[in-house]
Amino acid sequence: MKKILSLFIVGFLLVGFSQKKEKQTDWEKENLKGKVKSITLTDYNAKKIFRKIKKGYSKGKKTTKFNNDGNLTEEVYYNSNGSLSWNWTYKYDNNGNRTEKIRYKPDGSLNSKWTYKYNDEGNRTEEANYKSEGSLSYKSSYKYYVNGNRIEHTKYRSDGSLLEKEVKKYDNKGNEIEKVWYDSDGDLRGKLTYKYDYKGNLTEESGYKSDGHLIWKSTYKYDNNGNEIEYAKYNFNGSFDSKETYQYEYDSNGNWTKKIEFEVKNEVVKTPKYIFERKIEYYD
């Protein structure tokens, strides 16, 4: 099986000459317009009163901060009562590559830490995760096509033994179209496939068992601003499983400030489920 896996990866390398997608800032990954400095997101349970959708109790809050280059620097999570839940911080090198991610407990003590290394082309080559006391939890290595698209992600336990391996495949536009996982013995665990629209938005995702049988399929739709307006999930036989739709309000920069999530039952009845509100601060 390990020999077959090696040949499989070599085959990927030989056909992997697709276009590489340009490196994105966190602004771009989050579909943010303008030079966003911070976002405070509060989510509420939604309730319908006399045909009007109202905010229920708050489920919590998250504050996200970005540097002037559009990279994420801090994420702070709060519980519904306002108490601190978790705090994440991020550091970068002079090329904008993320070099460190740290998760802190509510009391300010370290919970876990990630460090990253890169090659001369700016591709991530190594990731290491450390426990609160400093011991290694796991380590990952990455391999790439000649064009820079990531082909392989291999994860190792702290003792150096193989934990799992992930292999990707791309279309000629650099969109990831397939991801497969292997366990520590080299046996296939599962597969995901992806489809996109002409703008590069994900429109379909399918999950498969190790024997190739379909488990589920999800579809996505977007508005003209590139924000997701519908998510639907179907069972292996094509029968309906669940659907969510989203309604937005925008600020003058085109970033949404309010989002209402609806649960769609029997593909017809829409029930408001959550309300998300964002306060966005911009750099001058």
The pLDDT score that the predictor gives to residue 14 is 42
pTM check: above 0.85: yes
Q: Where are the beta strands (DSSP E) in the chain?
A: 36-49, 52-66, 72-78, 84-92, 98-104, 110-118, 124-131, 136-144, 150-157, 162-170, 176-183, 188-196, 202-208, 214-222, 228-235, 240-250, 256-265, 269-282
* The predicted structure's pLDDT at residue 265: 87
Judge whether 276 lies within some domain.
yes
Counted domains in the chain:
1
Beta-carbon contacts of residue 217 (< 8 Å; ≥ 6 apart) = 204, 205, 206, 207, 233, 234, 238
Q: Which domain holds residue 279?
A: 197-284
Tell whether 240 is covered by a domain: yes
d(CA 116, CA 126) in angstroms, rounded, equals 6
Classify residue 17: in a domain, yes or no: no
The whole-angstrom distance between residue 129's C-alpha and the CA centroid of its chain comes to 18
How far is 158 from 94, CA to CA, in rounded Å?
A: 29
| 234 lies in some domain | yes
Task: Report yes or no on 71 lying in a domain.
Answer: no
198 Cβ partners below 8 Å, 6+ apart? none
Please check whether residue 26 lies inside any domain of the structure.
no
Is 223 a domain residue? yes
Q: Are 44 and 55 in contact (CB under 8 A)?
A: yes
Report the candidate in 284, 207, 275, 277 with the shortest Cα–Cα distance to residue 49.
275
Residue-level pLDDT, tens digit, the chain, 284 residues: 444 444 444 444 444 445 666 789 999 999 999 999 999 999 999 999 988 999 999 999 999 999 999 999 999 999 999 999 999 999 999 999 999 999 999 999 999 999 999 999 999 999 999 999 999 999 999 999 988 999 999 999 999 999 999 999 999 999 999 999 999 999 999 999 999 999 999 999 999 999 999 999 999 999 999 999 999 999 999 999 999 999 999 999 999 999 999 999 887 889 999 999 999 999 98
What pLDDT does residue 21 have?
A: 66
Long-range Cβ pairs for the range 37-41 (8 Å, 24+): 37/65, 37/66, 37/281, 37/282, 37/283, 38/63, 38/64, 38/65, 38/66, 38/280, 38/281, 39/63, 39/64, 39/278, 39/279, 39/280, 39/281, 40/64, 40/278, 40/279, 41/276, 41/277, 41/278
Asked if residue 267 is part of any domain, the answer here is: yes
What pLDDT sits at residue 20? 66
